[in-house]
Amino acid sequence: MTALSAIAVASQDQRPDLFLEVAGAIMRFYPRIIGISLVPLDEQGSSLDIGVRDAELGALVREAAKRSRGAPVLARYPSDRPAYLIVKRSPNSEAARYGLALVIDAAALLDGDSAFWTQTEATRWLALPDGTLLVGAADSGSSPQFTRALSSATQPLELKTAVRMTILDVFPPRRVALALALIGFSAVALRAIGRQRAKVRAAEARAELSGLETRLSHASRVNALGEMASGIAHELTQPLTAILAQAQAARRLAARGDTDRITGILDDVVEQTRRAAAILERLRTWTRPRERNAEAIDMRECIRVAGTLLAGQAAELDASLDVRVPPTPLSVVGDRVELEQVLFNLIRNALDAVAEKAAPREITVEATMEGDMAVIDVSDTGPGIRSDVRDRLFTPFMTTRENGTGLGLALSLRLVERAGGDLTLIETREGARFRINLPLVRAAREAGA
């Protein structure tokens, strides 16, 4: 179009034969161009046409050229012929004198050697960008349609295709039967494989659980003994030191013949000896093989025993151990030694936690009654529990301490659950807080009934 426009402007109406000659050559080279028309924008001038003759063509080209702002304008051919116009003003400026139009055979654009489009089920449409149909008739939309804009800057036509299909076209019986057979066979095979794998995983899980329980059962008493022995070592230091000091004082008094004061000293020695014996008896109770003895016990007494055993270690760390119990009994059903062991473990863990932090080093054991439950909180002002280990905190052999065994909390949870309660970690802004919930005597008996 650019070459034709240049020739039209250069000839200035003097060489129409030159324009028609070049236009004819272009039509021979591009057979889809079935006509070329040069229409003066001045309605008094005459048009130059080759290949087409239509009374309405001149007016249509003139109107399209006047609408152009530089880009070619597409318009449908004025007759029923499946063709369209590409109109450009010449020269391509506000001083344009002509409208130059190429007439394109739209049907020829869709010609091809594919036999697919000769089927009655296949349909094609070609339309202008505004939706004006060039080739094909309007479709009811009952068949699936596919639309795509042709990638041409000057001719962005829309190509629409559709294929009418039946259910047998979508699902050929033989192929469907074969596919169903394969799917059925695969489903049966996968189900059998899945069941076998599930059995294997279940067996592996049972074996792993059994191994963990065996390790926990073997190590729990050893761990408890170590924890208890550590606390007893701290506690025995006080009575043994007192006995040593009193014995040395009695020897000095005996050397001076002061027998009156020796009696009081010997009474103190007896008291401290009994205290040490009580501590050793507690150690024998913890280490002696025994059956679980569920009975009604007062949790206040269990708290007192655990606090007494660890008071020496708390003093050595310069940590305060604050025990708060209600004035009325907190009676639960459980094994006394097991529940004392749980409290001992929790308080001992709290002491280890505050030892890692500067003052204040505070541990609080608070027992309350909430409905039918006895609630015991053991909290500390230590560094707290890291978020990445909270979900695994009660897993056997999970520890955050360098020398820890990872059995204390796992064993404690198991012992509390045996008493019908639960042990949980409570969210706090500072330190850590563990909570024991145990059913009171009446609630426990009703649950057992």
User: What is the rounded CA–CA span in Å between residue 129 and residue 75?
Assistant: 10
The closest of 329, 382, 386 to 355, measured between CA atoms, is: 382
The closest of 356, 408, 417, 366 to 386, measured between CA atoms, is: 356
Q: Any idea where the domains of the chain sit in the sequence? A: 1-109, 112-167, 293-449
The pLDDT of residue 277 is above 90: no
The pLDDT of residue 114 is above 70: no
Residue 212 token pair: 């963990």
Q: Are 297 and 334 within 8 A, CB to CB?
A: yes
User: What is the rounded CA–CA span in Å between residue 63 and residue 325?
Assistant: 101
3-state DSSP assignment of residue 148? strand
User: What is the rounded CA–CA span in Å between residue 412 and residue 132?
Assistant: 82
The pLDDT of residue 445 is above 60: no
- What pTM does this model have? 0.40
Q: Are 435 and 412 within 8 A, CB to CB?
A: no
Q: Which residue is associated with the tokens 């000769």?
A: 118
Per-residue confidence band for 422, with pLDDT thresholds at 50, 70 and 90: very high
The pLDDT of residue 126 is above 70: yes
pLDDT at 196: 92
The closest of 295, 422, 438, 434 to 372, measured between CA atoms, is: 438
Number of alpha carbons in the 13 Å side-chain half-sphere of residue 277: 6
Could you tell me which residue, 30 or 112, shows the higher pLDDT? 30
How far, rounded to the nearest angstrom, does the alpha carbon of residue 13 sit from its chain's CA centroid?
Answer: 77
User: What is the rounded CA–CA span in Å between residue 317 and residue 314?
Assistant: 5
Q: Which residue is associated with the tokens 């109770």?
A: 285
Cα dist. 373→79, 295, 332, 441 in Å?
A: 95, 16, 9, 9
User: What is the rounded CA–CA span in Å between residue 409 and residue 336?
Assistant: 18
Cα dist. 263→239, 249, 328, 354 in Å?
A: 18, 12, 40, 43
The pLDDT of residue 287 is above 70: no
Q: Which of 118-127, 171-180, 373-382, 399-408 has the lowest mean pLDDT?
A: 399-408
The pLDDT of residue 122 is above 90: no
pLDDT at 46: 77
CATH number of 1-109: 3.30.450.20
pLDDT at 17: 79
Mean pLDDT score, 171-179 = 85
Residue 283 token pair: 């150690």
Cβ-Cβ contacts under 8 Å for 207 (sequence gap 6 or more): none
Fold of the domain built from segment(s) 293-449: Heat Shock Protein 90 (3.30.565)
Per-residue exposure over 107-124, b if at least 16 CB sit within 10 Å of its own CB, e if not: eebbeeeeeeeeeeeebe
Q: Do domains 1-109 and 293-449 have the same CATH topology?
A: no
Mean residue pLDDT across the chain: 80
Mean pLDDT score, 245-260 = 85
Could you tell me which residue, 229 or 124, shows the higher pLDDT? 124
| Residues in the chain, overall count | 449
Q: Are 99 and 65 within 8 A, CB to CB?
A: yes
pLDDT in tens, 17-65: 787 888 888 888 888 888 888 888 887 777 788 888 777 888 888 888 8
pLDDT in tens, 367-391: 999 999 999 999 999 888 888 888 8
Residue 235 token pair: 């506690």
The pLDDT of residue 213 is above 50: yes
pLDDT at 232: 58
The pLDDT of residue 449 is above 50: no
The pLDDT of residue 140 is above 80: no
pLDDT in tens, 432-444: 999 999 999 875 5
Residue 70 token pair: 């530089």
Query: Which of 67-76, 167-176, 190-199 reaches the highest mean pLDDT?
Result: 190-199
pLDDT in tens, 310-362: 888 888 889 999 999 999 999 999 988 889 989 998 999 999 889 888 778 89
User: What is the rounded CA–CA span in Å between residue 274 and residue 284?
Assistant: 15
The closest of 13, 37, 130 to 87, measured between CA atoms, is: 37
The pLDDT of residue 256 is above 90: no
Residue 404 token pair: 């820890």
pLDDT at 98: 83
Could you tell me which residue, 255 or 378, shows the higher pLDDT? 378
Could you tell me which residue, 289 or 67, shows the higher pLDDT? 67
pLDDT at 228: 54
Which amino acid, residue 118?
A: T
Q: Which residue is associated with the tokens 């145990």?
A: 438
User: What is the rounded CA–CA span in Å between residue 214 and residue 265?
Assistant: 51
Residue 265 token pair: 């000293």
The pLDDT of residue 104 is above 80: yes
Phi and psi of 158, rounded to 5°? Answer: -110, 125
For the purposes of burial, counting CB atoms within 10 Å of the CB of 11, is it exposed (0-12), middle (13-18) or buried (19 or more)? Answer: middle
